[in-house]
Amino acid sequence: MRQVHETLFRAVCLCAAAMMLVLSLLCSIRLAAVNDRAAKLEKENEALEREIAVMTARAESRLSLEALERYAVEELGLQRCTPGQIVVIDTPVG
């Protein structure tokens, strides 16, 4: 009877160890998938941050040019040149 109990105890322990091993492997696989997703999201975030920086710079430069043009027209009374008013001077180098 004692030998049956020992054999049963070993079988239960072996099954428990096998279940823990399987659960550990499943968790490792899931963790790897989460890490891959996190890396992909980080790359996407970096790309979006670069795009935001470019768009912000464009918007700021555009606003500056619009403000400058408005000041030149409204405050200084300047007007845009017509093609006939533009003169190109070509000078030799040196």
Q: Per residue of the chain (94 residues), what is the pLDDT tens digit?
A: 888 889 999 999 999 999 999 999 999 999 999 999 999 999 999 999 999 999 998 888 877 788 888 889 999 999 988 888 888 888 888 6
Q: Residue 74 to residues 63, 64, 81: CA-CA distances in angstroms?
A: 16, 15, 16
pLDDT of the residue at 1 = 81
Q: What are phi and psi of 77, to 5 degrees?
A: 70, 25
End-to-end, the C-alpha distance of the chain in Å comes to 111
pTM (whole model) above 0.75: no
d(CA 42, CA 21): 31
pLDDT of the residue at 73 = 92
